Amino acid sequence: MLVVNPLKDFVLQFSGLDEGIHSFEFLVDDKFFEQFELSEISEGKVKVGLQLDKQTTMMVLDFDIKGSITCVCDRCLEEYPENISGQEQIIVKFSDDKSEESDEIKVISPSEHQIDLSQDIFEFITLMLPLKKLHPLDKKGKSTCDPEIIKILENLSVQNNIDPRWDELKKISLKN
């Protein structure tokens, strides 16, 4: 049985490239996101442009990321499309000394001839997601969440009785 690795397209072969600027394009889709366990993203279509500046002792990788991810709304739990876009940069140094490595700087051996960018691209996309995922508002400023769920949530919030102990604690804090 032939096993196809959907992430193989994100391994960049740089050994045959001349010094200078080179452009690449990657398409991130559902098969890409399936490869990452515990990913909160399962669906999406994202275009990743890469401009690689290859130099003697390092490479500068500039990423331009644009696309749409399917998110689950934190309020109504329905899916909705979330547009993402942004720029990121990684500097890759050729060295055997790993002490310079950080989030922005990768250190690889001078004998390496390729670099796997799949994890970096996944992290960039994940970090572009909003902290609070909510359906966008319509033209009138109203939520586009599922109206039935919103009604249920409103009814539940009205029905909740406040514990009287909180009122007593508020009185104490107001005295100070």
Quick: pLDDT tens for 81-129.
Answer: 999 999 999 999 998 888 778 878 999 988 899 999 999 999 999 999 9
Q: Is residue 23 part of a domain?
A: yes
pLDDT for 61 equals 96
**What is the domain extent for residue 83?**
8-136
Q: Is residue 158 part of a domain?
A: no
Exposed, middle or buried: residue 124 (CB in 10 Å: 0-12, 13-18, 19+)? buried
- Using DSSP's 3-state secondary structure scheme, residue 70 falls into strand
Q: Is residue 174 part of a domain?
A: no
Q: What share of the chain is helix, strand, coil (3-state, %, to 5)?
A: 25, 35, 40
Tens digit of each residue's pLDDT (9 = 90 or more) over 127-161: 999 999 998 888 988 888 888 887 887 777 755 56
- Give whole-number Cα distances, 133 to 65, 88, 108, 126, 149, in Å: 19, 22, 37, 12, 16
Q: Is residue 36 part of a domain?
A: yes
* Domain total in the chain: 1
Length of the chain: 176
Contact between 47 and 23 (Cβ < 8 Å) = no
